[in-house]
């Protein structure tokens, strides 16, 4: 793969940024990588591990001369970062992000960007429960979807270049409207995370079940809930605070479905339960057939090593 950008700047050096950096180096997608993080400890690790060619103390320094800037900070910090870097962005540069909410990011970032740059919001549908500059790995985006959310007036050459960049890291790239993105992601990611947090919280609060029993006897379902619920709390706090309407709509529908299941269990309606579980089972088959998980025993997780566990 040929170089697509001369200098890529990362603001934030967690799982997504560090995975992107490893993938960029593997596939030769950029000549130089700069980066910064709010935490001095994270910056020190990035220097020690030679994660970036240049590690700076400020975001303004990191973006100097960059033709691609990737915002990898919590959604709640996007506006402040955009305000800091706006005056220092090179003419013709592309700015993108990796946030899992798009409308709020667009509203927070756009006012601070000069007219001479291209803003192409993005969202890689990939991740693990791990975080930090040492959690990344180059394969994270392979065969995973990357959603680009440009507005109608965005320069198409800039979008095409960013698409090729993500495809160079192995991602499957599609474009989507911001509001539709936020609704889809509530269904596929945000609400499941909230439910996982809730179920783990219920187990923690249920006095008749001890901590040792929860840990020792965790079947696959609860174990997977705890894996999801181990995700970065700052990121998920900002997701829900910045995608309220879609989240509340889907939670309302979830509550209605839950009441229907409660009623079926209470009344002994086995036919309803069997039909419901049959229909939902088909969704799982579709995910496996689409290559977004595996049908291997234990979903293949027993064989997974390192950061992807």
Pick the closest to residue 16 from 166, 240, 118, 164 (CA basis): 166
- What pLDDT, on the 0 to 100 scale, is given for residue 154? 96
- What pLDDT, on the 0 to 100 scale, is given for residue 286? 82
* End position of a domain, from candidates 176, 200, 217: 176
- What pLDDT, on the 0 to 100 scale, is given for residue 294? 65
Question: 3-class SS at 71?
Answer: strand
Q: Give the tens place of pLDDT for each residue, 121-155.
A: 999 999 887 889 999 999 999 999 999 999 999 99
Neighbours of 42 (CB within 10 A): 21
Looking at the fold, whether 223 and 161 belong to one and the same domain comes out as no
Looking at the fold, whether 149 and 285 belong to one and the same domain comes out as no
* Dist CA 218 CA 226 (whole Å): 9
* Dist CA 127 CA 125 (whole Å): 7
- What pLDDT, on the 0 to 100 scale, is given for residue 225? 80
Looking at the fold, whether 154 and 14 belong to one and the same domain comes out as yes
Beta-bridged to residue 145, according to DSSP, are 172
Looking at the fold, whether 72 and 172 belong to one and the same domain comes out as yes
Looking at the fold, whether 27 and 129 belong to one and the same domain comes out as yes
Looking at the fold, whether 210 and 230 belong to one and the same domain comes out as yes
Beta-bridged to residue 168, according to DSSP, are none
Measure the CA angle with vertex 41, ends 38 and 44; round to 5°: 105
CATH number of the domain encompassing residue 254 = 1.10.3660.10
Looking at the fold, whether 167 and 28 belong to one and the same domain comes out as yes
Residue 301 in any domain: the answer is no
CATH number of the domain encompassing residue 101 = 3.40.50.720
Which element (helix H / strand E) includes 27? helix 15-27
Q: Give the tens place of pLDDT for each residue, 149-183.
A: 999 999 999 999 999 999 999 999 999 999 999 99
Residue 302 in any domain: the answer is no
Looking at the fold, whether 151 and 123 belong to one and the same domain comes out as yes
Q: Average pLDDT of 250-270?
A: 93
- What pLDDT, on the 0 to 100 scale, is given for residue 230? 79
Pick the closest to residue 291 from 126, 158, 151, 130 (CA basis): 126
Q: What does the mean pLDDT of the chain come to?
A: 89
Looking at the fold, whether 172 and 255 belong to one and the same domain comes out as no
Q: What is the dihedral of CA 43, 49, 55, 57, to 10 degrees?
A: 20
Range of the domain at 198: 180-292
What pLDDT band is residue 33 in, cutting at 50, 70 and 90? very high
DSSP secondary structure letter of residue 9: E
Residue 306 in any domain: the answer is no
Residue 300 in any domain: the answer is no
Is residue 150 a contact partner of residue 175, using CB atoms and an 8 Å limit? yes
Question: 3-class SS at 69?
Answer: strand
Is residue 139 a contact partner of residue 124, using CB atoms and an 8 Å limit? no
What pLDDT band is residue 198 in, cutting at 50, 70 and 90? confident
**What strands, in cross-sheet order, belong to the sheet with 145-148?**
122-124, 145-148, 172-175
* Dist CA 165 CA 169 (whole Å): 7
The token duo for 10 is 């990362």
Is residue 273 a contact partner of residue 281, using CB atoms and an 8 Å limit? no
Query: Token match 């479905």: residue?
Result: 257
Looking at the fold, whether 199 and 87 belong to one and the same domain comes out as no
End-to-end CA distance of the chain: 29
Instruction: Look at the chain and report how many structural domains it folds into.
Output: 2
* Dist CA 24 CA 1 (whole Å): 10
Is the pLDDT confidence value at 94 over 70? yes
- What pLDDT, on the 0 to 100 scale, is given for residue 226? 79
* Dist CA 276 CA 175 (whole Å): 32
Looking at the fold, whether 129 and 45 belong to one and the same domain comes out as yes
Looking at the fold, whether 64 and 170 belong to one and the same domain comes out as yes
- From residue 211, alpha-carbon distances to 190, 216, 309 in Å are 26, 9, 23
* End position of a domain, from candidates 145, 176, 207: 176
* End position of a domain, from candidates 176, 200, 225: 176
Is residue 8 a contact partner of residue 66, using CB atoms and an 8 Å limit? yes
């Amino acid at each position: 793969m040929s170089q697509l950008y001369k200098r890529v700047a990362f603001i934030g050096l967690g799982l997504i940024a560090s995975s992107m950096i490893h993938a960029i180096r593997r596939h030769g997608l950029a000549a130089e990588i700069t980066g910064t993080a709010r935490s001095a400890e994270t910056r020190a690790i990035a220097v020690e591990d030679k994660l970036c060619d240049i590690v700076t103390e400020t975001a303004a320094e990191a973006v100097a001369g960059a033709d691609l800037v990737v915002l990898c900070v919590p959604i709640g910090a996007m506006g402040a970062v955009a305000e800091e870097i706006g005056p220092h962005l090179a003419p013709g540069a592309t700015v993108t992000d990796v946030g899992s909410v798009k409308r709020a990011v667009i509203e927070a970032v756009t006012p601070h960007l000069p007219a001479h740059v291209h803003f192409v919001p993005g969202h890689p549908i990939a991740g693990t429960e791990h975080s930090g500059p040492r959690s990344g790995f180059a394969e994270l985006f392979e065969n995973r979807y990357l959603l680009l959310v440009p507005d109608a007036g965005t320069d198409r050459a800039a979008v095409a270049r960013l698409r090729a960049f993500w495809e160079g890291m192995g991602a499957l790239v599609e474009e989507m409207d911001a509001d539709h993105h936020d609704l889809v992601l509530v269904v596929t990611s945000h609400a499941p995370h909230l439910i996982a947090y809730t179920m783990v919280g219920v187990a923690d609060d249920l006095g008749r079940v001890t901590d040792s029993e929860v840990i020792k006897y965790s079947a696959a379902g609860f174990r997977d809930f705890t894996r999801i619920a181990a995700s970065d709390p700052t990121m998920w706090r900002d997701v829900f605070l910045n995608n309220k309407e879609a989240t509340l709509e889907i939670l309302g529908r979830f509550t209605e479905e839950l009441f229907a299941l409660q009623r079926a269990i209470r009344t002994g309606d086995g036919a309803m339960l069997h039909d419901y579980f049959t229909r939902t089972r088909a969704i799982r088959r579709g995910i496996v057939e689409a290559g977004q998980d595996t049908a291997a025993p234990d979903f293949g997780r027993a064989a997974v090593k390192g950061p992807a566990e």
